[in-house]
Structure 1
């Protein structure tokens, strides 16, 4: 009862912390970097040749693997030197042009790595001279992007899958396997073998995922595919000039620390002593460090509130892997632990007089104190002579151990699922701003499949929880099914981490506001993307009937992301008197993100109605 109360308190605290830290709706995180302005502007016609081309992005770009080349009418480069990236202005990229450029059409081809680690590219065309050809020059490029998409998914899945096995094994021995009596007896050989196997496989997979991520990221950023993945200069550029390279160094250091802990754990599982809780906890902390580092490279790194987004991403990944790892431990380790254990020999229960304190700590506190306190080593049971009773193992029959472990896992899983749901809702609001985006973007569709499979896993877990409350027959194949579905979910998680978020295409928007006099104003924007858009306005009175006393409606759009000036256009009042009573106007939105929309309504009586609302614009 005391254990259950403690776990419930921890679960409640975790849920409360998540909702307090993440309860406010976050500003939508737009996808990869995109152009917000350029000089010359896209499709601009110039009377005189410019001295340079400058491109401004919506977010800081990486200081490596950037390209900007201007192709002239003859199909050759007209750039004068290399492109310039200024760390003091990390959103800007420029390149100087040759003097005395001829009239004609030009194309500025650019490629950068956005802040979330994804390479993006595009072309900005402009023209010099009024009478020049308006066709964009064609430029044949022999550079082929041979980077296979499946390798990115495989490498990320290795990291996620490896951490799942490793964390699940640690959680099993730290929390799931009941303490006290169970640690006063020798671990079954089958459990030790399976624990070593899970740790080895988990570490090997995670290490491969971390180490291979460097050449994979290099191949992606350079645009040269795996042929560039192991190029020394390209690897050095990744490590020196990208945020991924900095985080990768930290991950590698943590991987080395985790290797030392793994070696000690394997040695402990090869002997009669039980791995110390301190060693298990240190290895667990190392795993969490790897997951925290991972949260700093991805979509969360470019969110407007970075600390909250990174925290949510870390908690979401950690909770999911601990839960799934626990499912795997129940399926793989618990059947081996539920075999009838053998009492520890006397020399294993008592530490030698010359044993050092660190050795006792790594051997486990239960064993270090066995000689001084037999009751502590046997869960409170002592024989007539004060020694551990011979029937200690019999007091914990396999079925009792089995269902006690299931109940402990149910409490751990409940806490993980609570954190998973809270952070998942936050992430969805961050990356999927509208229902349209959920059902009409690749990111949204993959997220829906992930949610569906997670719900199936939760249903299987709930079935196991209910069965654990009234022990009957073992859980059976359902646990393996839940684990297999969870591993598929990890593939989808790796895919989502590499897709542009759904905020890049929120879909048509409809802004409805009620005015103090009871009138309702509805502004519709379609397709609600950067570029040309159609705006529609409809105004009804307090009685719900269209208002015919509108002289003019003016919209003023001001970007909340950066100073882009004011985009203004209006609806003539006569359109509101037509049938249907709806006004229409065309306008150009110059960048994605959040815009303030100032609505100014002039009535025929010369009275005015004004209000402000917010519009989220997609970038593609």
Structure 2
């Protein structure tokens, strides 16, 4: 009895160990990728600030009645999202943040009317429409500027985004095991309904999907508020999350997961055999199982993918009407392929030495059916992936110039490797199909009362190579899931890519003074601005003559002008780096949009020529 139970116990231990390794690889890959991203970019720029009132750095004669923040897309916030700090970094009482006249992209908060003279900092932390948190700060002064006592801390506990990403990764892995594994057991592999290992893998998928969803739901509150992990127990933060698009999508996902779990339990439950007069009744009772159950399951599979795509990058930006279904198909194809592949590797392609001779598992018809399904999934992944890459990247330069683009290139490399391995597996199926091995196995089939299938007659060495290939596919598939989870938490390259500005404008004809500036006649002004995005920038200015040589002038001064006439110009401090080369080392751009760098070139003691250099900050 003990000896008979030992192999089953060992198989159960091996299965648990494999699942633990899979979960460890996912979590480890997520943490490593996320830590590298967090280290370089503490706040993800999914939504970005377009306009503020008052303007950052503005000096006002009297305290403003309110502060307004206008973003490029809708944002949500709670009572802790906007804070006002004085010169000692003390938080001051302000009004409750709200939207301006129903505009979901504009936030407003009233300020005290008795603010003393000095500088104040308004720190904000809001949730963008794609469910990710962005933060920032602006300063303004009343009467005259004053020095701040301490910097403003805007970032959440570093553990919060890591736990959030791990939760998202578990949800991705769970949806793959639940959907793809269930399809494999219920449809592709007839014997799978009775296989305990397969059912355990699928149920573990439902558990991972549920756990990951709950983790994201609980962590979103402290993530949005910028608090520590202890905030998961704050009912106020949880309540605020439930009123957001993400919170509602996560609740719906939990309901759908429960329904899909019930459907899977019914699908793998043994059907009672029809007998005698009850045959007609049994056939009628089986209609819901054959028709209604697949229809409900298919609808649930589509609906569960929408809980991602209706609360992430897909529903913001351009062509949302096409991006949402394309992203849903992309996720569904990935889930069906990876989940089925894991069940195939764990339950069908087990080492021959560990099989019992009387219980050897046949490769037919599971392997050929899954091969056809994988081919369809790869086609869907390729078509939707190309479109989504274009939509979220936009330009070739953004592929290597942004974190999103580099992660996408890594994901593409992993997918191409998977396609290569899958092609080898498909060649195995074709080479050892039933038609090619029928004559070779006919005599052996007569001995057992049936004709053995070609795949099962394949040489053991070929099966071992197939097994190694499929396991490599599983590892690469987990890598793809890891990268995908990090991509969801990374700003799309189309919005985050800011190519350096490099432009040249002619010097106006008025610059024809005498002395050292005479060489500017017919020349040009070349300007390079890096990184050409909100925040600190470096502007290199070159004054060149008609022959292309650098021309020195007595002085160059500048101002930064916004396309909005209501925004005052910002002075730009410019110093000489070398004759004809001038540098603005700390040119601050308040927010994205169209700007003009106005340069006043003093060509003599009495003559000055303005040059306007338009550019766009991303």
Is contact 1:33-1:114 (8 Å) kept? yes
User: 1:318–1:538: structure 2 CA closer, same or farther, 3 Å change rule?
Assistant: farther
Equivalents in 2 of 1:249, 1:43: separation in Å?
42
What's the offset of the Cα at 1:84? 3.3
Output the CA distance in 1 between the equivalents of 2:318 and 2:384: 17
Matched, 1:414 2:375: yes
Conserved 8 A contact 1:69-1:109: yes
Aligned pairs (5 A) from 1:209-224: 209-224=212-227
TM (norm. structure 1) is: 0.65
Structure 1 residues 486 and 142: CA distance shift in structure 2, 3 A? closer
The structure with higher relative contact order (CA 8 Å, sep 6+) is 1
- Structure 1 contact 79–96 (Cα < 8 Å) conserved: no
Q: Which residue in the other structure is 1:8 paired with?
A: none
Residues 140, 462 of structure 1: alpha-carbon distance in 2 compared, 3 angstrom cutoff: closer
- 1:377-392 equivalences under 5 Å are none
Q: 1:490 is matched with which residue?
A: 481
Distance 1:509 1:327 in 2: 47
The whole-number CA distance in structure 2 between the counterparts of 1:463 and 1:83 is 58
What residue is the counterpart of 2:232 in the other structure? Answer: 229
- Conservation of the 8 A alpha-carbon contact between 2:178 and 2:339: yes
Match of 1:505 among 483, 497, 506: 497
Match of 1:94 among 108, 114, 117: 108
My pick for the range that moved more, 138-147 or 406-415, is: 138-147
Residues 1:530 and 2:531 aligned together: no
Residues 220, 73 of structure 1: CA spacing in aligned structure 2 closer, same or farther, 3 A cutoff? Answer: closer
Q: What is the distance in 2 between the residues matched to 1:123 and 1:31?
A: 14
Whether 2:343 is the aligned partner of 1:329: answer yes
> Are the aligned partners of 1:453 and 1:485 in contact in 2 as well (CA < 8 Å)?
yes
TM-aligned CA deviation for residue 589 of structure 1: 5.6
Q: Do the aligned partners of 1:105 and 1:137 also contact (CA within 8 Å) in 2?
A: no
Structure 2 equivalent of residue 149 of structure 1: 161
CA drift of 1:34 comes to 2.4
Q: Do the aligned residues in 2 keep the contact of 1:65 with 1:222 (CA within 8 Å)?
A: no
Structure 2 contact 185–192 (Cα < 8 Å) conserved = no
Aligned to 1:206: 209
Instruction: Work out the CA distance in 1 between the residues paired with 2:61 and 2:138.
Output: 18
- Partner Cα distance (1:197, 1:269) in 2: 20
Tell me which residue corresponds to 1:268.
270
1:479 pairs, out of 470, 487, 492, with 470
The match for 1:163 is 175
In structure 2, distance between residues paired with 1:420 and 1:491: 16
State how far apart, in whole Å, the 2-side matches of 1:153 and 1:584 are: 41
The CA distance in 1 between the partners of 2:253 and 2:84, in whole Å, is 39
SS in 1 for 2:297: helix
RMSD over aligned CA atoms reads 4.5
State the distance in 2 between where 1:313 and 1:326 align: 20
Deviation of 1:504 (Å): 1.1
Contact 2:534 2:592 in 1 (8 A): yes
1:36 aligns with 2:38: no
Counterpart in the other structure of 1:117: 131
* TM-aligned CA deviation for residue 490 of structure 1: 0.8
Secondary structure at the counterpart of residue 267 of structure 1? coil
Alpha carbons of structure 1 residues 566 and 286: separation in structure 2 relative to 1, 3 Å: farther
The alignment partner of 2:498 has SS state of coil
Q: CA deviation at 1:511?
A: 8.1
What is the aligned counterpart of 1:447 among 381, 404, 408? Answer: 408
SS of match in other structure, 2:76: coil
| 1:317-356 to 2 correspondences below 5 Å | 317-335=331-349
The question of whether the paired residues in 1 share the 8 Å contact of 2:182 and 2:264 is answered with: no
CA contact (8 A) 1:117 1:297 kept: yes
> The residue matched to 2:321 in structure 1 has which SS?
helix
Q: Does 1:247 align with 2:233?
A: no
Shift of 1:588: 7.2
TM-score for both structures, normalised by structure 2: 0.66
Residue in structure 2 matched with residue 293 of structure 1 by the alignment: 307
Please give the alpha-carbon distance, in whole angstroms, between the structure 2 residues aligned to 1:564 and 1:408.
65
What is the distance in 2 between the residues matched to 1:63 and 1:563? 29
More helix by share: 2
Does the alignment pair 1:457 with 2:418? yes
Contact 1:105 1:128 in 2 (8 A): yes
Task: Please report how far the alpha carbon of residue 616 of structure 1 lies from its aligned counterpart in structure 2 after TM superposition.
Answer: 6.7
1:295 Cα deviation from its structure 2 partner: 0.8
**Unaligned residue ranges in structure 2 (runs of 5+):** 1-43, 275-281, 353-358, 433-457, 505-524, 549-559, 572-578, 597-613
Decide whether aligned partners of structure 1 residues 58 and 566 sit closer, same or farther in structure 2, where only a CA change above 3 A counts. Answer: farther
- Tell which deviates more after alignment, 136-145 or 71-80: 136-145
How big is each residue's C-alpha offset from its partner over 1:538-581, in whole Å with a ceiling of 9 and x where there is no partner?
99x9xxx99xxxxxxxxx9998xx99989999xxxxxxxxx99x
CA shift for structure 1 position 482: 0.6
